[in-house]
């Protein structure tokens, strides 16, 4: 290199990005932190010995973009000491931990990561559904528990093909679920904020209408004020004794107490759950049921998803700093 | 009613069908026995107080068709006292329990039931694959074992999309597996006795060639002399540390001892098994592994499969007795 141009010799000043996270929750895996630092000047208050408030007020004048990891809430109070903030980059598909009205009133744009996660979450939704209907986890328990040589036969499952699947939320995740389940011979219908012109499956105006024509409900929508407890006791009653619920959205989409009761009393057929009202644990009343499959909010958890998340995060931030269109804006 | 024609008043004589089964294994569920009796005159030696041999020799002159349930072997010796037998109707997809050369030399036609089971077995194969890659049964164990609140994070799984899936046996089951996994963004290739003109996926002449271009092997072929231990130590070595094997065919397609060793020593990535060399139990060395999903030969076990089996069984027998083409002849 010897006589390279001045442009390449002089290190560029990297754009500043504030990291917002709970002290206990680190960056996602895949050397995310290290790789972000090659693109941006990362400010992480939890890495600094300085008190949080003083760190923030010292840097506030230069903070135009914030990246948030995990479920750390973004409230109006948090935004207050950041008068120049223009962009919040969420690293999750759901953005229920972000005060969207507060962002709107401040003119702050929010991006999310459902593009990065859509395929993996859809795979997991389909996996949970096959598992519940065909009793795969229960079968695995049966074999490992050495019951096969004793009981000889294992209870029959239910065929996937021909089931009427109602998808709640036909965004990037819902569309991937629909594509997959069509190949199994399921019939698909959906409800969503609005009918999507690009989607040919039958649209229902709300969950109450959708459930009357569904054997299976799959929840892939955002958690908002409108979708909080969108699946309640009445929806479960309408789903009926052979009906199955899959939730890969957020726990509070379902009235969990009623769900537990319906499952324990056999009022619905089964459930595959990746998310729960209380993040970090599942209702223990379900631990003895064979028609339930429980996963620890791991629907997004593949190296490929996290790589896609990294690319999407960098893509949004680079677009922002070079005044190009953002990749995944949340409509707000 | 009153003055109906003589045809409807006089009960038709039903065609005679011999049932072959192990004394301990009954007809499949779904009131199979009862419903068969409305179509055929069923002879079941295990229902009669008369000794087996004498029962058989007394009826032999009228037995042209036999239906076999479960794994009861059909050998040359069994066929010997049945000189007028023309048809063996198997109620399984695999026919490795039937002496096909003996049937061929006697001119006895064999039908099987893979048409009835193809969709359910394919669903199960895909369910096992998602389960292994995305660790669903292991996740369910993790949650039920109350480890989530303690360990906080669960190990990452692997993305399904983009995996190169090699299907061994592109019959009715293999085709259904290919259709499903294409929708997940997997690339498909196969090996089979012969290249199928109707199949557009790349064909490989044998498993050794197929495995070099595969991340996943799915076994859906019949067990024959040629396919016995078709997956051996060498195939597993070629599959490698991230490779996954799914077996919904027969246990003896895999050299099970080598499979257990490869899994225990981490030489392959994981396995989803519905069948084992010893029918009725799985190798206990696998019971502690999280990258293995074990089901008790239940890939066909849905009411819908058994209904389809009933229709196919009756269809083959009725075609035979009315000299029409059989529905599902085994090429022999």
B131 near A CB under 8 A: yes
Average pLDDT over chain B, rounded to whole?
92
> Per-residue pLDDT averaged across B123-135, rounded?
98
Residue-wise pLDDT for B154-207, tens only, equals 998 999 999 999 999 999 999 999 999 999 999 999 999 999 999 999 999 999
More confident residue, B7 or B236: B236
Task: Say yes or no to pLDDT of B136 above 90.
Answer: yes
Q: What is the pLDDT of residue B30?
A: 58
The dihedral over CA atoms of B198, B202, B206, B212, expressed in degrees to the nearest 10, equals: -160
Distant-in-sequence, close-in-space partners of A5: CB < 8 Å, separation ≥ 6 = none
Q: What is the pLDDT of residue A94?
A: 86
**Inter-chain residue contact B136 with A124, CB threshold 8 Å:** yes
Q: Which residues of A touch B289 (CB under 8 A)?
A: none
Tokens of B11: 């009960």
Of the residues B119, B250, B255, B256, only one is catalytic, namely: B250
CB B114 within 8 A of CB B175: no
- Intervals of CATH 3.40.50.720 along chain B: 6-112+302-321, 116-294
Look at the alpha carbons of A78, A82, A84, A87 in this order and tell me if their dihedral is positive or negative. negative
A150 near B CB under 8 A: no
CB A184 within 8 A of CB B180: yes
Q: What is the pLDDT of residue A11?
A: 55
* Rg (chain B; Cα; Å): 23
Tell me the C-alpha to C-alpha distance, in Å, between residue B68 and each of A59, A171, B85, B92, B168. 79, 50, 13, 9, 26
More confident residue, B309 or B5: B309
CB A211 within 8 A of CB A234: no
Interatomic CA distance for residues A183 and B210, integer angstroms:
24
What percentage of chain B has pLDDT greater than the value 70? 95
Using 50, 70 and 90 to split pLDDT, how confident is the model at B29? Answer: low
CB B213 within 8 A of CB B189: yes
Min mean pLDDT across B115-119, B129-133, B239-243 is at B115-119
Residue-wise pLDDT for A226-276, tens only, equals 999 999 999 999 999 999 999 999 999 999 999 999 999 999 999 999 999
Q: What is the pLDDT of residue A279?
A: 86
Q: What is the pLDDT of residue B272?
A: 98
Of the residues B180, B297, B307, B318, only one is catalytic, namely: B297
CB A270 within 8 A of CB A290: no
| Known active-site residue B250 | yes
| DSSP 3-state of B113 | coil
Q: What is the pLDDT of residue B233?
A: 97
Q: Which residues of A touch B281 (CB under 8 A)?
A: 148-149
Using 50, 70 and 90 to split pLDDT, how confident is the model at B4? Answer: very low
Q: What are the residue numbers of the active site of A? A: 250, 279, 297
| Known active-site residue B46 | no
A158 near B CB under 8 A: yes
Task: Say yes or no to pLDDT of B10 above 50.
Answer: no
Q: What is the pLDDT of residue A301?
A: 81
Collect the ranges in chain A with pLDDT lower than 70: 1-12, 26-30
Looking at CATH, the fold of the domain delimited by B6-112+302-321 is given as Rossmann fold (3.40.50)
**Inter-chain residue contact B295 with A158, CB threshold 8 Å:** no
Residues 92-121 of A with CB under 8 A from B: 119-120
A242 near B CB under 8 A: no
Between CA B62 and CA B69, with CA B64 as vertex, the angle to 5 degrees is 115
Phi first, then psi: give them for residue A126, nearest 5 degrees. -70, -40
> Per-residue pLDDT averaged across B231-239, rounded?
98
List, edge to edge, every strand of the sheet that includes A270-273. A203-204, A187-191, A164-168, A216-219, A244-247, A270-273, A292-294
Min mean pLDDT across A79-83, B1-5, B45-49 is at B1-5
**Inter-chain residue contact A296 with B157, CB threshold 8 Å:** no
Q: Is the CATH number 1.20.1250.20 carried by domain A116-294?
A: no
Residue-wise pLDDT for B61-102, tens only, equals 999 999 998 878 999 999 999 999 999 999 988 898 999 999
């Amino acid at each position: 290199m010897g006589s390279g141009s001045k442009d390449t010799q002089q290190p560029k000043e990297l754009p500043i990005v504030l990291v917002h996270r709970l002290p206990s929750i680190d960056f996602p895996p895949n050397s995310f932190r290290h790789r972000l630092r090659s693109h941006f000047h990362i400010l992480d208050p939890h890495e600094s010995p300085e008190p949080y408030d003083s760190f923030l007020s010292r840097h506030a004048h230069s903070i135009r973009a914030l990246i948030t990891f995990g479920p750390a809430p973004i409230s109006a109070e948090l935004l207050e000491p950041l008068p120049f903030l223009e962009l919040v980059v969420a690293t999750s598909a759901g953005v229920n931990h972000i005060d969207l009205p507060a962002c709107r009133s401040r003119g702050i744009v929010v991006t999310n990561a459902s593009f990065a996660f859509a395929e993996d979450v859809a795979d997991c939704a389909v996996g949970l559904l096959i598992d519940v209907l065909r009793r795969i986890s229960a079968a695995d328990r049966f074999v490992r528990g050495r019951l096969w040589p004793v009981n000889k036969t294992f209870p029959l499952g239910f065929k996937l093909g021909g089931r009427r699947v109602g998808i709640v939320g036909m965004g990037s995740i819902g569309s991937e679920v629909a594509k997959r389940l069509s190949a199994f011979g399921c019939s698909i219908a959906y409800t969503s904020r609005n009918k999507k012109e690009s989607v040919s499956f039958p649209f229902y105006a709300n969950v109450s209408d959708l459930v009357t024509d569904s054997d299976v409900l799959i929840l892939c929508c955002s958690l908002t004020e409108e979708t909080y407890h969108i699946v309640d006791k009445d929806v479960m009653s309408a789903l009926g004794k052979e009906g199955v619920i899959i939730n890969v959205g957020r726990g509070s989409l379902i009235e969990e107490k009623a769900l537990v009761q319906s499952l324990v009393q056999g009022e619905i057929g089964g459930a595959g759950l990746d998310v729960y009202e209380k993040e970090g644990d599942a209702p223990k009343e379900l631990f003895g049921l064979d028609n339930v499959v429980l996963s620890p909010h791991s629907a997004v958890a593949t190296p490929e998803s996290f790589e896609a998340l990294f690319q999407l995060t960098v893509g949004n931030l680079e677009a922002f700093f070079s005044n190009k269109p953002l990749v995944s804006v949340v409509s707000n």
